[in-house]
Amino acid sequence: MIKVQVRPNESLEAALRRFKRQCNQSGLFTAMKEGSFYVKPTTAKRLEGKERMRVIKRAERIRRNARF
């Protein structure tokens, strides 16, 4: 559960921004989106594979650039 206490002399908007940032970092919004509709198992498997390849390519790119 995410809690945000308003600090002294802090505006409500700033506290709300901190709350939204914590929700994004914890993955709460993505978990809510995933559960909001049904995804066929074959589609889910395909998307997981795409995500895995994206992560691998990004890691290779970072590793290649770090050598220089």
Question: What are the per-10-residue average pLDDT scores of the chain (68 residues)?
Answer: 90 94 91 89 96 96 83
Residue type, 56: I
Same structural domain for residues 8 and 21? Answer: yes
Instruction: Please count the other Cβ atoms lying within 10 Å of the Cβ belonging to residue 23.
Output: 15
Same structural domain for residues 9 and 29? Answer: yes
Same structural domain for residues 53 and 67? Answer: yes
Same structural domain for residues 43 and 17? Answer: no
Q: What is the domain count for the chain?
A: 2
Same structural domain for residues 2 and 33? Answer: yes
Instruction: Please count the other Cβ atoms lying within 10 Å of the Cβ belonging to residue 68.
Output: 4
- Using CA atoms, how far residue 56 sits from 10, 60, 61, in Å, is 42, 6, 9
Same structural domain for residues 6 and 33? Answer: yes
27: left (phi over 0), alpha (psi -120 to 50) or beta: left
Angle subtended at Cα 45 by Cα 40 and Cα 47, rounded to the nearest 5 degrees: 95
- Which structural domain range is residue 10 located in? 1-37
Q: How high is the pLDDT of residue 66?
A: 83
